[in-house]
Amino acid sequence: MRIYILFCLLPVVLFSSCTRTRITEHSEWGKYYDQYGIKNACFMLRDNNHESIQYYNKERCLQRFLPASTFKIFNSLVALETAVAPDDGLVIKWDSVVRWRPEWNKDMTMREAFKVSNVAYYQEIARRVGPARMQHYLDTVKYGNMKMEGRIDTFWLNNSLQISADEQTGFVKKLYFAELPFSERSQRIVKTMMLQEQTPTYNLYYKTGTGRMGDKYIYWVVGFAERIEHFKEPEGSMNKSDSRNYPYFFAQNFEMPASDTTKDWFKARIEIVHEILKDYGAIPR
């Protein structure tokens, strides 16, 4: 009963009503983390097709953490809406500082910077947006705890701004349906920037994020999957295509000691997302 009441009271839940059958705990998803030796993890999945919530580790799903580079979704929306970026082709010159990822060390567009998660590019975007406008949109969207402490170019990395997996899924669901307080154009552009995998049977959109929390790293993946079903539409149908997309919204995070280099955690987080989405049927096996 406690789980049912808690999820129904959350403001980010977009359903008009909740029932027990719409909220399901999946303790069995723990096996996907156990195989990597991950102890502190959560996964939140919103099945739009059945108006249901599926989750692993309720307490952590509701706990806020720094968003790290998943904030690039929000940062991109603000940049487009304020015309700091006229479009996703905005080029920001490389400042000649050599950084640890070689692909960051060049001039690039916003779309390119999003794909390679160029921190320096988005720090410059945030500086151009400025604190007043950034805070306005944090408050308007009600993004996480809406706190912006410290410098304008580090607040999503320094544990000031925090957001939960539950809030992340609510955020990307609104983005998908263009229900955020941004123009349809801004939201459409950012959605296309999030597309990572495109196949005949599914599309997968997401943004990763990695943040330092003391002696640990948090690893995020936030986005949505579209399962594609192909069939012949009846004559006169409003849908003129012979396929339909069924969306599923998700957020995953887990933490590992910063000193643990036994596995490629960047790769592992994507593999786990695939396994859970396949387990649930959001994407085909």
Q: Which of 27, 69, 76, 186 is catalytic?
A: 69
Helix axes 131-141, 119-129, angle to 10 degrees: 100
Q: How many Cα atoms sit within 13 Å of 199 on the Cβ side?
A: 11
Among the listed residues 135, 153, 134, 143, the one whose alpha carbon sits nearest the alpha carbon of residue 82 = 134
DSSP assignment letter at 82: T
The yes-or-no answer on residue 52 being catalytic is no
CB of 180 within 8 A of CB of 85? no
Residue 93, burial from CB neighbour count under 10 angstroms (0-12, 13-18, 19+):
exposed
Residue 166, burial from CB neighbour count under 10 angstroms (0-12, 13-18, 19+):
buried
Q: Measured between alpha carbons, how far is residue 51 from residues 3, 176, 180, 182 in Å?
A: 17, 15, 19, 24
Radius of gyration of the chain (CA): 19
Look-up of token digits 């539409």:
233
Give strand pairing partners of 248.
47, 225
H helices of the chain, in order, are 2-9, 30-34, 58-61, 71-81, 110-115, 119-129, 131-141, 165-176, 184-194, 265-280
User: Which amino acid is it at 12?
Assistant: V
- Active site residues per annotation: 69
